[in-house]
């Protein structure tokens, strides 16, 4: 953790009263790093990785610099415990990473994907720190300037996404909604008897626009997401990503 903090902490955090703009939150010369953990409550190897993701996502020194997301997969549900946050959608996203980014059909938990371009075991803290430090030094291809507005049971995301340099392919703007501080008492399966706290649980993923490959292209982001009544609105966060549809590389991001 010391290595990661020493490498990433360069500028003071943006104050809460300022708009959530990517250019305001990221120190010059660094890129926002997105870490996506594919995990399951039915996997005994996953709680240590879940804990690391929580620590990364809640570290104030990394706010605005590292974005943590947890996708709970459903393919371990058959062994005795059905993960309440699992979805086939997230299992398919993990398979897409394998097929498109890493050219393999092998998927596993806990698998951590960094900026859509590298994968590693999510419970290996040393390797996680090293991968994040490396990814932060890669210049972002897309710049985001977006704001979040709370509505009546919904969240409005407005702003722009701009391509800083040419891309061979059009890029997708994706909005991700997640929830923190969810506790589950596991009564069956590999984690029987454990009480698990999970954070950064992805609840919804929706398309929010497309950027052509031309340098300087800007697309308007104007998306409203309805929150499920069962979600605790005060623990809900939003991430806007710019992602290559073929390679799955994440080339720009901001958390709101």
**Is residue 246 in some structural domain?**
yes
Query: Looking at the 3D structure of the chain, how many domains does it have?
Result: 1
Whole-Å CA distances, 64 to 115, 143, 215, 239: 15, 14, 25, 11
Structure token digits, residue 145: 């300037």
55 SS3 class: helix
Q: Are strands 142-150 and 250-255 parallel, antiparallel or unpaired?
A: unpaired
Taking the chain (256 residues) in consecutive chunks of 10 residues, what is each chunk's mean pLDDT?
A: 36 32 42 97 98 97 96 96 98 98 96 98 97 94 95 94 91 97 97 97 96 92 96 97 96 96
CATH code where residue 203 lies: 3.40.30.10
Expressed as residue numbers, the domain containing 203 is 2-9+19-255
Q: Are strands 250-255 and 118-121 parallel, antiparallel or unpaired?
A: unpaired
**Is residue 141 in some structural domain?**
yes
How much is the pTM? 0.88
pLDDT of amino acid 4: 38
214 SS3 class: coil
Is the CB of residue 174 less than 8 Å from the CB of residue 163? Answer: no
Is the CB of residue 23 less than 8 Å from the CB of residue 45? Answer: no
Give the Cβ contact number of residue 82 at 10 Å: 15
Whole-Å CA distances, 29 to 18, 33, 103, 131, 134: 21, 13, 30, 17, 12
**Is residue 14 in some structural domain?**
no
Q: Which residues pair with 163 in a beta bridge?
A: 142
pLDDT of amino acid 168: 87
């Amino acid at each position: 953790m010391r290595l990661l903090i020493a490498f990433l902490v360069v500028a003071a955090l943006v104050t809460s009263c300022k708009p959530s703009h990517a250019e305001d939150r990221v120190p010059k010369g660094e890129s926002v790093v997105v870490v996506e953990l594919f995990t399951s409550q039915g996997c005994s190897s996953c709680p240590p990785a879940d804990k690391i993701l929580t620590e990364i996502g809640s570290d104030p020194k990394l706010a605005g610099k590292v974005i943590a997301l947890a996708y709970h997969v459903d393919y371990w549900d058959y062994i005795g415990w059905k993960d309440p946050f699992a979805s086939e959608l997230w299992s398919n996203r993990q398979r897409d990473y394998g097929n498109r980014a890493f050219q393999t059909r092998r998927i596993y938990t806990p698998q951590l994907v960094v900026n859509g371009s590298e994968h590693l075991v999510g419970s290996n803290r040393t390797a996680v720190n090293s991968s994040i430090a490396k990814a932060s030094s890669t210049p972002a291809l897309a710049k985001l300037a977006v704001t979040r507005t709370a509505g009546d049971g919904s969240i409005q995301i407005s702003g722009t996404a701009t391509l800083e340099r040419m891309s061979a392919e059009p890029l997708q703007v994706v909005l991700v909604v997640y929830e923190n501080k969810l506790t589950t008492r596991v009564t069956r399966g590999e984690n029987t008897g454990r009480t698990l706290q999970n954070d950064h649980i992805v609840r919804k993923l929706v398309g929010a626009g497309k950027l052509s490959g031309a340098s300087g292209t800007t697309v308007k982001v104007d998306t409203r997401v309805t929150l499920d009544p069962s979600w605790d609105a005060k623990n809900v966060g939003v991430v806007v990503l710019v992602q290559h549809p073929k390679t799955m590389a994440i080339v720009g991001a901001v958390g709101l």
